[in-house]
Amino acid sequence: MSSTAARRLEVGNVTQARVARSEWTKLHSLRSTRWAMAVTLLLIIGFALIFSGVVAARWPNLSPEDQLRFLTHPLRASLVGVNLAELSIGVLGVLVISGEYTTGVIRSSFCAVPNRLPVLWGKAMVFAATTFVLTLPAVLIAFFASQAILASRHIPIGHLQIAFSQPGVPRAVIGAALVLTVMGLFGLGIGAIVRHTAGAIVTLVAIIFVLPPLLGLLPTDWANAINPYLPSSAADVLWTITPEGHTLAPWAGFALFCGYAALSLAIAAVLLVRRDT
> 194 versus 11: which is more confidently predicted?
194
Q: Minimal CA–CA distance to 161: which of 140, 149, 147, 174?
A: 147
Within its chain, how far is the Cα of 27 from the centroid? 16
Tens digits of per-residue pLDDT, 67-107?
A: 777 777 778 888 999 989 999 999 999 999 998 888 888 88
Residue 1 lies inside a defined structural domain of this protein: no
Q: Minimal CA–CA distance to 96: which of 206, 183, 16, 210?
A: 183
Question: How far from 129 is each of 134, 159, 232, CA to CA, in Å?
Answer: 9, 37, 21
Residue 42 lies inside a defined structural domain of this protein: yes
Residue 182 lies inside a defined structural domain of this protein: yes
Residue 4 lies inside a defined structural domain of this protein: no
Q: Is the pLDDT of residue 138 over 60?
A: yes
Supply the pTM of this predicted model: 0.89
Tens digits of per-residue pLDDT, 38-69?
A: 999 999 999 999 988 888 887 777 777 777 77
Residues whose CB is less than 8 angstroms from the CB of residue 193 and which lie 6 or more positions away in sequence, other chains included: 200, 264, 267, 268, 271
Q: Say how far apart CA 232 and CA 235 lie, in whole Å.
A: 5
**What is the domain range of residue 30?**
18-274
Q: Which residues of 12-37 are buried (b: 16+ CB within 10 A; e: fewer)?
A: eeeeeebbbebbbebbeeeeebeebb
Question: How far from 134 is each of 195, 212, 237, CA to CA, in Å?
Answer: 26, 28, 21
Length reported for the chain: 277
Residue 6 lies inside a defined structural domain of this protein: no
Residue 81 lies inside a defined structural domain of this protein: yes
Residue 2 lies inside a defined structural domain of this protein: no
Q: Is the pLDDT of residue 143 over 50?
A: yes
Tens digits of per-residue pLDDT, 236-268?
A: 899 888 777 778 899 999 999 999 999 999 999
Residue 5 lies inside a defined structural domain of this protein: no
Tens digits of per-residue pLDDT, 189-207?
A: 999 999 999 999 999 999 9
Total structural domains within the chain:
1
